[in-house]
Amino acid sequence: MAKVALETKKLMVKEIASRLANAEVLIVTRYKGLSAQDINDLRKELKRIAAEYLVVKDSMVKKALKDGAGGNGIIAFIQGEVGIVVHKSDPSVVSKALVKFSKDHEPLKICGGFAGGAALSNQDIIAIASLPSREVLLAKLANVLNSPIQRLAVSLNGIICKLLYVLNAVKDKKEKQ
């Protein structure tokens, strides 16, 4: 019986390690005080943005991270009852969802995380949540890059129009003579 339990735990650690290894963004939260319904609501919110909320034993997560799942920067945040948000790409989307949910549900505390190869503190995650989304930032960048070209086109058009006005005035003057 003990051998089966040990094998089950090894499989669980392996599954946790694979989920953490495939993630670009990991955010650790403390969920103590949340009801099961609140955690399910959080999972639904995160599922909408293609993220996942894992509630696992801290010892198993630490073992999975030590076994090479990456994100060793978050081991310091794993103490006691924790839940880990796992997402494959954009930290701002996940941060916004978590910060919004934590404002509505006081017991949820954001501890820290890991994104883009760097550890993130609680303040970093809150700051990322206040930034515009990636799409908005890309649109602003495109607008900034397009602006000089647009100004050049307007200026060149103005020069051509002024030339036409001058030629028209010369034509009108010649017709009057």
Domain definitions of the chain by residue range:
2-131, 132-177
Give the residue-averaged pLDDT of 143-165: 88
Q: Which of 138, 136, 45 is nearest to 95 (CA)?
A: 45
Q: According to the model, what pLDDT value does residue 1 have?
A: 67
- In order of 52, 119, 153, 175, the CA distances from 97 in angstroms are 12, 19, 42, 72
For the stretch 65-109, pLDDT in tens is: 886 645 556 788 888 888 999 988 888 888 999 999 999 988 899
Residues in contact with 66: Cβ distance below 8 Å, sequence separation at least 6, in sequence order? 72, 75
> Does the structure show a pLDDT above 90 at 56?
no
Length of the chain (residues): 177
Mean pLDDT estimate for the chain: 86
> Does the structure show a pLDDT above 70 at 132?
yes
Q: According to the model, what pLDDT value does residue 100 have?
A: 92
Give the residue-averaged pLDDT of 56-67: 82
Q: Which of 41, 20, 22 is nearest to 31 (CA)?
A: 41
| Distance (Å, whole) CA 115 – CA 64 | 18
Domain 2-131 sits in CATH 2.40.50.140: no
pTM: 0.72
Q: How many Cβ atoms from other residues are within 10 Å of residue 81's Cβ?
A: 13
Give the whole-number percent of the chain exceeding pLDDT 70. 95
Residues in contact with 120: Cβ distance below 8 Å, sequence separation at least 6, in sequence order? 27, 91, 112, 113, 114, 128
> Does the structure show a pLDDT above 60 at 118?
yes
